[in-house]
Structure 1
């Protein structure tokens, strides 16, 4: 059934394309080939019907995107009318007859006075040229200019919505496509409207030729006297001009309606009805004014009274309709409130999957999420997602914000996959002064002692008055929203590896597939599975290595994936390929890499005790040896931190992963690199040595 429907659809489409091509080519034939009057009558009726169809269709379009073929159709209909003009001119000049349609228009409009018909014809031409066509052309020109000027801003808005997760990639592509189509439409309309103006001028010239040529030819041949030829061909010429110009005027009006549309939601009639007759007070006032005009001496009473009564009734009906809508809305809200517990229960059963990242806030922190404020929790979270995506190279899912009445009013909780990983307390009416220390007593700060949640520093919540004092003495002062956002950012950084699932890896690879399709097609699934690539990326993120250089990562996995499938070993190969990216953040101001080295004896102990498990490599040591090792690391690490010297722990390649797994819980911020991960041209300075002392 589906194949048959598809075949029928494509068959009809092909026949329609052939038919349209035949019609367009036939327009030239209309100009060159003489036609009998009954064929001309049929084509004139087709022209009028087509013009009315186009006009009515524009009234039902919601936006210019619904009628993108209009500029081309405008050109075709213009050529069609000119072809009919030429054919009717040939018949008028050669036979003195142009068919029943033209004759009927001439008698109906001009009557017994061809001068009246000529005046009406001239008025129609002037209205079309000076008002409708000129205005539509100007609107199209300005719209094209503003649309093109606004394109960069709209493109940035689309990119911002995409990066913040408000829209999908497909929705972004659709919006970009619509934006391009809209710009192309107005640009085409700017040029196509010139055809209509030229058509009006050509119609006027052809009408004059018909009149003068018909009088001269048929009076000289003796068929009519000058007076008879003037009267007969005057009416016939006016009829021919009206048959041509009335459809042209209809299409000009249609083009004006289309380019001046601003609503993208409803048809023209719905928009007018909703906006023009939506305020009953306006209808009442106009109704009263019409009645006042009716009782003024000299004004016609009946028209004003009829219109005033009609407007009064319309205002009453609109008012009653709005009351009914309000009552229905209130009833729906009541029903919704009554059914709300059931709906929530059903929703909780259906949507049982936890959010990747969620923030729960107490009721006292709800104002932080107020979207009426320029800087609020929602916009700041969107900025964090975008920033971390660029820094870490991962795609973050939307972060859910919930209010929790069971929490303290100033408390908040950050959850990863439904589990609480961080919490804090904010005071919306205060500011956090970081590390006031003894200075808080010296400057007599009045505040609430606290711990800065992101970095664990001593802090104090102070009022706006003490905030100014703290700023004058160069303390770091942070508003509550920034405290929460900074904490969220650090939590996401430390848990980035847990947020990277197979779905996110797939989306990352699809995002770069256009550029790096060769390596992706080679790697997955022939060499490694998607899950293997995910584990390597998770290992990198777990050690705070950005995965922004996916090309290098995938190339390395393709090189070594055939020889080993062990994620830890593959991660070490990738780290060696990313050596410059890994060590760059730890250079001091002189461009030197400060390292803590491992004593050869200690390195031997660690190397001989490494055991492999499902969780990775780790040295299996006696508790007292581990304690002495940690004491040595802590002593060296603390001194360097106190002096503000950036540094890393440098080990042999074969023990790097095991050492990192061993110390990661006690020293999560200490980066461990191997000799193979340091570029050859990188200057190194040893600032300490780790050893297991007896």
Structure 2
């Protein structure tokens, strides 16, 4: 029963939200057509004022423009509501204005008497000033910002899409997150375009307010004198005050909503709302308050100045600056004491040595300088921690095993912005990241040079420059790939994890992988280890696949290949020596042939590859089978030809894959991939029958003669 009531409640709320728009349109039409009594007008004017205040507060508390994506539509409906109220109030003023100042309701009377003191001349001046402020200053500025924002947002869309694709390819985000970000980029462009058009409503509303005021005054004079026999002066006083009150009660909410529009389009998207940004940045430096207080004090000491006002303000600013200085000094003292406390703890622990002092090396570690601590601090919700978790998950999905946990620690011996990545305590990569700035990476073909600190992308070695946040949009338009400091470190870590994936696969990870498979296919694992192969041999085989960037996701095919060929190879070897690891690895690769080819040629039937000259193939086969090594002259010639072939493949946009006979594949792979990491070496036996080979570049010719 409770569930049924909850469903009815949810359905009712959904229907209410669905009917909100049509009901509002009907209200607007009713106000324009049907005469409304003064009490209803008072309620509607009060609702209009409260709606304007609520829109302003929502705009103030949003942290990015898309948090209030409905604002252009809200602006349209609020303008229509205000114009409909003007029509309804004009009808009441002209029909019943001769009866007295309260004929059009108490709200109009209050704005006509109390706000302008019952003086219609003052009311006209105040009304015109409000219209000028709204039309010339706020609405015009907000419209210009929205126009420029829409233009730059559209120009920056390709760069933002490239950045999203780069994060997706690097494994920093998943498909769902990438799809959400792409939708957000499109929504941002649509929002600024809508705001550019919606600002025209408010400008038109201001012009309409002036025209309505003039028409009401002229119409009131004609009706009052011609129809109700009022004196010209009396008719002018009554209808002008009512018109001014009507205009003010409409223009003040219009001014508030225009201010909200300016707030939405002029803010910079951060994790703070407008109020927090203003307070944190205006009052961030106590020296600013001290200098301002001194200037106010000097001005207050000048004869003829209001001394009390200036000196009170100077004292308040000086006091606020002193409190801020004390708070910042306390924070600096805490940061300075932390290294001393850490040193004291180290000295206390060293007083008596024990087995607790023997620290085991972490398989994978990240050390950061003190300025990068905020990126990895739990208390500060460090973004790099979330990225590293996503990296490990993406790595496990792509490669086929769960890598070790990345142990993160600060290292005061590093430079403040430096970091280094460790594998079993040995540094395998290092770099520099600047929090608060963005790294603009040149992928080639950029259209301008950016001011900033020139550097090199630590992951791929591309030229880059650290730029300020304000230049981010400009850099994306120019063709740069722009990423923040956390993304730089995460991308570098992801690149090294894939590069050293074989070394990350220890015996413990292999056993955990077998346990994971055993929960679904226990018999398959029981027959493999240790009956068919040992755990050590299995680890060696899996590492051999990972060294050539072959994923081990398809463990079922790997186990089936081992179960099929390992007993036969073991029978061919002397008793007790077990199967030959090299031959077993080659046969396992044949079993994974479809996956390996798919990795290099996704969705392609024709494989455009690099081949070997037949004469060179015979020379290499003879050299590797007899001596197991290449002569220096032959090796140098093969390398030069391989470099030309790789460059030709890259220039034509084809995969850099060399296809050789099975007997040559292991030796050539070790030899060539050392000089060309981007080159894949496959054997003819690994190519599925349905794929068509086409040799588009060739190694050899001169060296075989």
- The alignment's TM-score, normalised by the length of structure 1, stands at 0.59
Of stretches 134-143 and 291-300 in structure 1, the one that deviates more from structure 2 is: 291-300
Which position in structure 1 is the counterpart of 2:34?
Answer: 33
Point out the structure with max Rg over C-alpha.
1
Matched, 1:207 2:213: yes
Write the deviation string for residues 250-302 of structure 1: whole angstroms up to 9, x where unpaired: 11111111211125222322222222223222222222222222222222222
Q: 1:128: Cα distance to partner?
A: 0.6
Matched, 1:587 2:611: yes
Matched, 1:633 2:634: no
Q: For the Cα contact (< 8 Å) 2:147–2:193, is it kept in 1?
A: yes
The change in CA–CA distance for 1:671 and 1:111 in structure 2 (over 3 A counts) is: closer
The change in CA–CA distance for 1:488 and 1:545 in structure 2 (over 3 A counts) is: closer
Structure 2: how far apart are the matches of 1:252 and 1:229? 34
Which position in structure 2 is the counterpart of 1:235?
Answer: 241
Q: Which residue among 288, 292, 295 is the counterpart of 1:286?
A: 292
Q: Secondary structure at the match of 1:234?
A: helix
Structure 1: how far apart are the matches of 2:314 and 2:429? 65
Q: Which residue among 264, 267, 275 is the counterpart of 1:269?
A: 275
* Aligned counterparts, 1:264-663, within 5 A: 264-327=270-333, 358=364, 492=500, 570-571=591-592, 585-588=609-612, 595-596=617-618, 633-635=625-627, 638=630, 641=635, 644=638, 650=661
Which position in structure 1 is the counterpart of 2:15?
Answer: 14
Which position in structure 2 is the counterpart of 1:90?
Answer: 91
The change in CA–CA distance for 1:150 and 1:686 in structure 2 (over 3 A counts) is: closer
Q: Secondary structure at the match of 2:115?
A: helix
The change in CA–CA distance for 1:161 and 1:503 in structure 2 (over 3 A counts) is: farther
* Aligned counterparts, 1:143-292, within 5 A: 143-292=149-298
Matched, 1:673 2:684: yes
Computed over aligned residues only, the root mean square deviation of the Cα atoms, in angstroms, reads 5.9
Structure 2 gap segments, 5+ residues each: 98-102, 349-355, 374-386, 412-419, 431-491, 514-519, 529-538, 566-586, 643-657, 675-680
Write the deviation string for residues 612-636 of structure 1: whole angstroms up to 9, x where unpaired: xxxxxxxxxxxxxxxxx99972359
Q: 1:314: Cα distance to partner?
A: 2.2
The change in CA–CA distance for 1:597 and 1:252 in structure 2 (over 3 A counts) is: same
Write the deviation string for residues 526-567 of structure 1: whole angstroms up to 9, x where unpaired: xx99xx9xx9x97995795978xx9xx9xxx9xxx9xx9997
Which position in structure 2 is the counterpart of 1:137?
Answer: 143
Q: Secondary structure at the match of 2:36?
A: coil
Structure 2: how far apart are the matches of 1:404 and 1:246? 55
The change in CA–CA distance for 1:663 and 1:140 in structure 2 (over 3 A counts) is: closer
Which position in structure 2 is the counterpart of 1:461?
Answer: none
Structure 1 gap segments, 5+ residues each: 343-348, 372-381, 406-411, 427-483, 505-523, 599-628, 688-694
The change in CA–CA distance for 1:292 and 1:337 in structure 2 (over 3 A counts) is: same
The change in CA–CA distance for 1:143 and 1:542 in structure 2 (over 3 A counts) is: closer
The change in CA–CA distance for 1:282 and 1:222 in structure 2 (over 3 A counts) is: same
Structure 2: how far apart are the matches of 1:404 and 1:261? 35
The change in CA–CA distance for 1:119 and 1:189 in structure 2 (over 3 A counts) is: same
The change in CA–CA distance for 1:631 and 1:667 in structure 2 (over 3 A counts) is: farther
Q: 1:27: Cα distance to partner?
A: 1.3
Q: 1:2: Cα distance to partner?
A: 8.6
The change in CA–CA distance for 1:575 and 1:275 in structure 2 (over 3 A counts) is: closer
Structure 2: how far apart are the matches of 1:323 and 1:69? 44
Q: 1:170: Cα distance to partner?
A: 4.5
Q: Secondary structure at the match of 2:201?
A: helix
- The alignment's TM-score, normalised by the length of structure 2, stands at 0.58
Which position in structure 2 is the counterpart of 1:517?
Answer: none
Which position in structure 1 is the counterpart of 2:64?
Answer: 63
Q: 1:166: Cα distance to partner?
A: 4.3
Which position in structure 1 is the counterpart of 2:417?
Answer: none
How many residues of Structure 1 are paired with residues of Structure 2 in the alignment? Answer: 517
Of stretches 572-581 and 173-182 in structure 1, the one that deviates more from structure 2 is: 572-581
Q: Secondary structure at the match of 1:109?
A: coil
Q: Secondary structure at the match of 1:245?
A: helix
Q: 1:240: Cα distance to partner?
A: 0.5
Which position in structure 1 is the counterpart of 2:123?
Answer: 117
Structure 2: how far apart are the matches of 1:496 and 1:278? 46
The change in CA–CA distance for 1:630 and 1:275 in structure 2 (over 3 A counts) is: same
